[in-house]
Amino acid sequence: MLLDADDSQLVLVDYQTRLMPAMHESTLVLGNALRLVRMAELLKVPVVATAQNPDRLGPQMPELEAALEAAGAQPLSKIHFSAVPDGLSALLRPVQCKPVGNARSLPRHLQRAPQSESGRQSVVVAGCEAHVCLLQTALDLLAEEFEVWVVTDACSSRTERNRDAAFDRLASAGAELVTTEMVAFEWLRTAGHPAFKVMQALIK
């Protein structure tokens, strides 16, 4: 099973100013998060960015915040460690609006509920800390019957042991473990894609 850009959404978890300096390999991890956002913008993949208790842990890292704004990302502040109880599912799978009024009085194109982004079932997720907020968010998304793809080289914890334990648990629960380059080339599928050269430059 390969990732499909038209079926994907990207969720970035808690790359915040008071958290990232303590993360293992934080520079590498943040760089890959930036690549993911720019790739998503390029291929029109919707993006959600969460922030855990931002009054305490601060905003997104400045360079990531700028990329998120450029990509039209939806922000989500949360207090739970998992983003799902604070509304992530509603952002990823919005309720379809029902047509208003008598069906006979409506033009034909309004007589059915419009399609929404709810058809995108693959959630590409990355973030910090891997064994806390990322883990709990991903497990809740699996419980909500999304396909979850965890981008391992864009995730971190304060220690490698905690990060790797999270990956082991996520894989056992049914999440797919991938890397930033795997996401890039699976979203593209072919060197003939119009975005191939730009994407290639992003990951080099």
117 pLDDT band, cuts 50/70/90, is very low
For residue 190, the 8-state DSSP code is S
- On the question of pLDDT at 110 being above 90, the answer is no
Integer Cα distance of 190 and 196 in angstroms: 8
Average pLDDT of 21-41?
Answer: 97
Token pair listed for 199 = 């994407």
Integer Cα distance of 190 and 168 in angstroms: 31
SS3 category, 189: coil
> Which residues face 78 on adjacent strands?
52
- Residues that are catalytic: 14, 78, 133
- On the question of pLDDT at 68 being above 50, the answer is yes
Q: Lowest-confidence range among 14-18, 109-113, 157-161, 174-178?
A: 109-113
CB-based burial of residue 138 (10 Å sphere; 0-12 exposed, 13-18 middle, 19+ buried)?
buried
Average pLDDT of 76-85?
Answer: 97
SS3 category, 151: strand
Helix (H) and strand (E) counts in the chain:
8, 6
Looking at residue 137, what is its pLDDT? Answer: 98
Q: Are strands 47-52 and 147-151 parallel, antiparallel or unpaired?
A: unpaired
Quote the strand ranges of the chain, DSSP E: 8-13, 47-52, 74-78, 122-127, 147-151, 176-178
- Its pTM stands at 0.87
- CATH fold for the domain made of 5-93+118-203: Rossmann fold (3.40.50)
Q: Are strands 8-13 and 74-78 parallel, antiparallel or unpaired?
A: unpaired
Average pLDDT of 2-18?
Answer: 97
